Amino acid sequence: ATPTALLVGTGRGAQLGILIRGPEVLESTRRVDTIVLDKTGTVTEGRMTLAATVPVTGQDPAELRRLAAAVESASEHPIAAAIAAGESDPPPVAHFQNLEGRGVRGEVAGREVVVGRPALLAERGYDVPAEVLEACATAEAEGRTAVVAGWDGAARGVLAVADRVRPTSADAVARLKRLGLHPVLLTGDNETVARAVAAEVGIDEVIAGVLPAGKVDAVKRLQADGRVVAMAGDGVNDAAALAQADLGLAMGTGTDVAIEAADLTLMRGDLTATADAIRLSRRTLTIIR
């Protein structure tokens, strides 16, 4: 009777757009007590828009956007899409480099342009004036991600990028809690933005400002604390964490790497699918027994 029950479960799963890697996954869904949710592209839509351009005093905002867009046009990050979107014909970029989880750099007309999180420019020896830090604080207080662009040794302004929480995320978090799972928001984005998103969807625990490699460590630390961890992500910077988790859930709207790393793939691109997947898997397990 066992194989039949499993087939029923996976068949219903397929109807709901839930792909299960194998029968052993069902057992993990019963054991998990914590669910780590990647912010960008999982809790939020991951489709960002440029909300504000704040140049330093004397800087032309159009030039700021144009040079930032030139470098970002070579990146696939949702932030890059937001910044590159407004420029139809950006100048060419040479020696492009993706500085994972921090930003991008490249050369435009022979001069280095750096675009990324505020700390990145300081790390690279750029002068970051107080007015730039103030503009970052303002953007972050509004729940936006502050991206700083600079060249010729100094930060030239801030591009505030806005994402949207998926309309179904708060309901999904409530359902995950009813399934006995403690939700944790995990992100490379800054703490202020992370807290704002967490509050909006009903999450109390936030791990923010982590570099891509730090996402695996965050999952390991929760496991070391005795938690059995599910992790939902889209694979942009989090495939290794999905693989490390006791139960990895990939958003089907995400990358192929995510799907390879995951135990469950959710073809429906919203968070309620994670609650459906766990509930259905647990129920399937009950039928088998």
SS3 152: coil
Count of residues near ligand ADP by CB under 6 A: 22
Give 90's DSSP letter: P
Cβ partners under 8 Å of residue 222, min gap 6 = 34, 36, 184, 229
- State yes or no: residue 271 binds Mg ion (CB under 5 A): no
- Interface pattern 148-187 for ligand ADP (x via CB under 6 A): ---------------------------------------x
Q: Which stretch binds Mg ion (CB under 5 A): 32-40, 126-134, 154-162, 269-277?
A: 32-40
Nearest distance in Å: CB 111, ligand ADP? 18
Cα distances from 59 to residues 55, 56, 150, in angstroms, run: 5, 5, 11
- State yes or no: is 38 an active-site residue: yes
Could you say which residues in the range 250-279 bind ligand ADP, by CB under 6 A?
A: none
Q: Which stretch binds Mg ion (CB under 5 A): 144-152, 228-236, 263-271, 279-287?
A: 228-236
CA dist 13 and 15 (Å) reads 5
Q: Provide φ and ψ at 149, rounded to 5°.
A: -120, 140
- State yes or no: residue 248 binds ligand ADP (CB under 6 A): no
CA dist 88 and 5 (Å) reads 55
**Tokens 């800054």 label which residue?**
190
Of the residues 145, 265, 272, 281, which one makes contact with ligand ADP according to CB under 6 A:
145
Of the candidates 218, 201, 200, the one whose C-alpha atom is nearest the C-alpha of residue 209 is: 218
Could you say which residues in the range 63-122 bind ligand ADP, by CB under 6 A?
A: 72, 75, 77, 79-80, 101-104, 115-117
- State yes or no: residue 40 binds Mg ion (CB under 5 A): yes
Could you say which residues in the range 181-240 bind ligand ADP, by CB under 6 A?
A: 187-189, 212, 236-237
Q: Which residues participate in catalysis according to the annotation?
A: 38
